[in-house]
Structure 1
Amino acid sequence: MDNIPLSFQLGALIGLLALSAIFSMSETAMMAANRFRLRHLAQNGHRGARKAIALLDQTDKMLGVILLGNNLVNTAAATLVSVIALQMFGEEKWALGASTLIITFAILVFSEITPKIIGATYADRMSVIIAYLLTPLLRLCYPVVWFVNLFAAALLRIMGLSLHPNDDTNRLSPEELRSLVLESSNVIPKKHQAILNSLFDLNEITVEHMMTPRSSIEILDLDQEWMAAKQQLLTSHHSRLPVCHGSLDHLLGILPVRRLLSALSEADFNETALLEQLQPPYYIPAGTAVFSQLSFFQENRQRIGFVVDEYGDILGLLTLEDIIEEIVGDFTTTTPGVDTDLTWNEDGSVVIDGTRQIRDINRMLGLDFPLDGPKTLNGLILEHFQDIPEADVGLKLNDIAVEILQTRDRSIVTARIYRPRPTEMPASLYKAPPP
């Protein structure tokens, strides 16, 4: 070493620090790279991405060659600094101590922290470049890496760990995927983001959450006078009507109203002709997941079904349009005069029909009524009171003030909901539930 010029030794030291920085940056960039983005690039023919994916598929060997090179370079740099210190200051103890501190500081700043920050910040960009360097280096050092990994694998087995776990650690759970969609607002339009978010809910909600309740279903009762039935067909705003005798307990089938518009004006059109046009009803078990029902509609070539309980009683009506609107938002034409939107009034309250679905109320008003029980506002209030309340009575549901405005028979017709803040329900209206 004495014959080697000092300038050459200093240049070699700088080169070793640079190599150490490359290894440190490689380790961080490869481990922090977005594997889904790399796979997308690889599928589109990006060679660097393909090499990066191949390296990440054998993480143990990739880390082995990186750490092998990094430790060799750092050890060589520390040794070279000691040689330089001895050459410049002799065997002075303070010189050796100072050289150790200097090389530690240099490795920490220039070869560890700074390159790792760069690798973490530009991981996706750097990984596809670094893969070109690591791939041939791994082939060259494969015997050494394989030998070192034998001891690492043995140590992992002693600790009860596996070098290659069976579960796919790169697979995202539905909740993780939902979070990824919500955090991608800068690249995914809000409308598309809302659609994707709605798709995640389809497996978590059942048909009971989306069905039109039985009390709100318009039926064609054949027990009424024939002229009244014809007039109902002419003025109905629905393309399909359930036909029955008396009530849905005696359901006959589904009538495609639009097909009969031309026949209604004919004098010989009668009940027999109407019955010939009926389609058999399609029944849906209560508790069926909405996403599963969407598939069932497709498989059975159906667009409308009746939700039934375990006893076969009809609970409500679900259509294909209901599911589609749950995904993409409202788009069908509603009955004239019926407002489906909910917005807060100037006084911080809103009047809501008792049959309104709780999910709709939560979504439109930003509230958090519980969804694991009754499906409508009427059912939620009745469950809270465990009785039929009177009008002008108030209560709090999840700290949300609700005032009952109108009741009829065994149900609540309308209620007023107060915005949680800053408006609160008058204390004189509040009535605690029975013990």
Structure 2
Amino acid sequence: MLVWSFLLILLLVMLNAFFVSVEFAAVASRRTRIEVLAESGVHSAAIVKTWLENPAARDRLIAASQLGITLVSLALGAVGENTFEALLAPLFENLALPAYLQRLVPLMAALPLFLSLVIVTSLHVVFGEQVPKVATLHDPERFALLAARPMRIFSVVFKWFVDILDWATRQVLSLIGLRMVGEHLTVYTVEEIKQILSESEEGGVIRTPEREMLDAIFDLGSLVVRQVMIPRTEILAVEADTPLQEIIQLTSQSTYTKFPVYEDSPDQILGIVHVKDLIRALQSPDCESCTARTLAREPIFVPETISVNSLLQQFRDNRQHIAIVLDEFGGTAGLVTLEDLLEEIVGEVSDPFDSITPEIQTMPDGLILIDGLTLIEEVNQHLKLDLQDPDYDTIAGYVLGKLGRIPRAGDVVESDGVQLRVENLDGMRIAQLSLRPLNDNPSQ
């Protein structure tokens, strides 16, 4: 008889573990993974999918699992306590106590009941609650699939009871001014998603380059074209009446494959010449007298304040990879290519013919050289600084704003604990800066 009692206790603990696992699987399972399995024809996945897609169905599933936990816990308490008390009672019946401990005899009589409660509670908590909970959270979808069919049968059998419990719950909530939550959607902010990505990186789920690219995708929406464009001073453009042979010579000396075509000044862009069009023109006997004007394609013009996401959409809609950026007065501010936008996600992509010079270089003596066109944001991120200027995007513009005049080689600006020095100029543009901490006290 005792053996059957122990087998029943084992069965009840396993049932409790089952219902606990169902409850946590319903909450922790990822809908996307279940949907993929359901679409592939897994029948149990289709059952789980209905629970996850319908908040009311999931509420009823959780209510059914709670009902199962309650019924099993009550049965485990009744069977377990009686079994262990009957097993332990003989050990204390004939226990001889000294005369001065005779007052403890009533307490000793209750000791088997107390110990049986401890044993049953321990079994219930460890094997019926904690172990199945942790195991399920490691792979909730797998257990949800295993439990789908038996849990559906249990839910159908006790549907009437679950309906009563659901109705009673709603009535109690209405009495205290609350209502059942209709949705169980978890919404994360961008910063919370970035935190999840960082934790996934620390846990080895994703690699650092993958996390950096995903972060960059979220940051892309906050960028405007002005921050990623090639400025007007760096544009290599051709005059509209430039002959074909001169354009060919220019392309052979350049790494670019597309050239803006202007008339009179770069503020009057007529179109874009593609290297592919030049090759076709060379092969055509009718194009000996062709000029940049006749070969130019119609350009896309965008304001410098347009978002990068909007520009990407325009590139898709117009099947173009390059756009001319206009300033607030209608003049040419710069140009932007699809490659510039992609580099904001994957990082700098160097052309095979480019001479690679890092934008930020650390010299052996600790001096840091910075290209003037480097974004302030990149300098801050790379050097852990907090340089801010709402009127400028590049580090050269930042120094220019601090100087308040045309820069000269050797000009120095101090800010945020560092010293920025103008090293080289390209005309009136700051081409290169040096940076060192103020406490280095460099000699001038």
TM-score range, shorter chain: 0.7 to 0.9
1:108 aligns with 2:104: no
Q: For each residue in 1:326-377, what CA deviation from the matched residue of structure 2 results, as whole angstroms up to 9, or x when unmatched?
A: 34444463765463564433333342331233455567x4655558732211
1:339 aligns with 2:357: yes
Separation in structure 1 between the aligned mates of residue 291 and residue 319 of structure 2, nearest angstrom:
24
Separation in structure 1 between the aligned mates of residue 118 and residue 322 of structure 2, nearest angstrom:
78
Separation in structure 1 between the aligned mates of residue 439 and residue 67 of structure 2, nearest angstrom:
70
Mind listing any 5+ residue stretches in structure 2 that lack a counterpart? Answer: 94-105
* 1:150-229 equivalences in 2 (<5 Å): 150-158=167-175, 161-166=178-183, 169-170=185-186, 174-180=190-196, 186=204, 194-221=212-239
Check 1:334–1:159 CA distance in 2 against 1; reply closer, same or farther (3 A cut): farther
Alignment match, 1:24? 20
Separation in structure 2 between the aligned mates of residue 119 and residue 274 of structure 1, nearest angstrom:
68
Separation in structure 2 between the aligned mates of residue 155 and residue 52 of structure 1, nearest angstrom:
29
Contact 2:25/2:141 (<8 A) preserved: yes
Give 1:151 shift: 1.9
Separation in structure 1 between the aligned mates of residue 242 and residue 278 of structure 2, nearest angstrom:
19
Separation in structure 2 between the aligned mates of residue 302 and residue 226 of structure 1, nearest angstrom:
23
Alignment match, 2:46? 50
How many percent of aligned residue pairs carry the same amino acid?
A: 25
* 1:316-327 equivalences in 2 (<5 Å): 316-327=334-345
Alignment match, 2:36? 40
Check 1:334–1:246 CA distance in 2 against 1; reply closer, same or farther (3 A cut): farther
Alignment match, 1:426? 440
Give 1:190 shift: 6.0
Contact 1:6/1:84 (<8 A) preserved: yes
Separation in structure 1 between the aligned mates of residue 442 and residue 347 of structure 2, nearest angstrom:
39
Alignment match, 1:73? 72
Q: For each residue in 1:110-137, what CA deviation from the matched residue of structure 2 results, as whole angstroms up to 9, or x when unmatched?
A: 3222332333334333222122321211
Check 1:326–1:117 CA distance in 2 against 1; reply closer, same or farther (3 A cut): closer
Give 1:17 shift: 2.8
In the superposition, the TM-score normalised over structure 2's length comes to 0.77
Separation in structure 2 between the aligned mates of residue 7 and residue 231 of structure 1, nearest angstrom:
96
* 1:373-384 equivalences in 2 (<5 Å): 373=390, 374-384=392-402
Letter in 2 for 1:317: L
Give 1:223 shift: 9.2
Separation in structure 1 between the aligned mates of residue 308 and residue 130 of structure 2, nearest angstrom:
51
Give 1:163 shift: 2.7
Q: Secondary structure at the match of 2:365?
A: coil
* 1:393-412 equivalences in 2 (<5 Å): 393-399=411-417, 401-407=419-425, 411-412=429-430
Mind listing any 5+ residue stretches in structure 1 that lack a counterpart? Answer: 431-435
Q: For each residue in 1:134-177, what CA deviation from the matched residue of structure 2 results, as whole angstroms up to 9, or x when unmatched?
A: 121111111101110112223344555543435x6145555555
Letter in 2 for 1:59: R
Alignment match, 1:433? none
1:252 aligns with 2:248: no
Letter in 1 for 2:270: L
Separation in structure 1 between the aligned mates of residue 274 and residue 86 of structure 2, nearest angstrom:
100
Contact 1:290/1:323 (<8 A) preserved: yes
Q: Secondary structure at the match of 2:362?
A: coil
Letter in 2 for 1:301: R
Alignment match, 2:410? 392
Richer in helix (by share): 2
Q: Secondary structure at the match of 1:19?
A: helix
- The total of aligned residue pairs comes to 419
Separation in structure 1 between the aligned mates of residue 324 and residue 174 of structure 2, nearest angstrom:
57
Contact 1:220/1:242 (<8 A) preserved: yes
1:148 aligns with 2:165: yes
Letter in 1 for 2:72: V
Contact 2:64/2:158 (<8 A) preserved: yes
Check 1:83–1:212 CA distance in 2 against 1; reply closer, same or farther (3 A cut): same
Alignment match, 1:291? 309
Contact 2:241/2:291 (<8 A) preserved: no
In the superposition, the TM-score normalised over structure 1's length comes to 0.79
Give 1:213 shift: 0.7
Separation in structure 1 between the aligned mates of residue 402 and residue 43 of structure 2, nearest angstrom:
63
Give RMSD over aligned pairs: 4.0
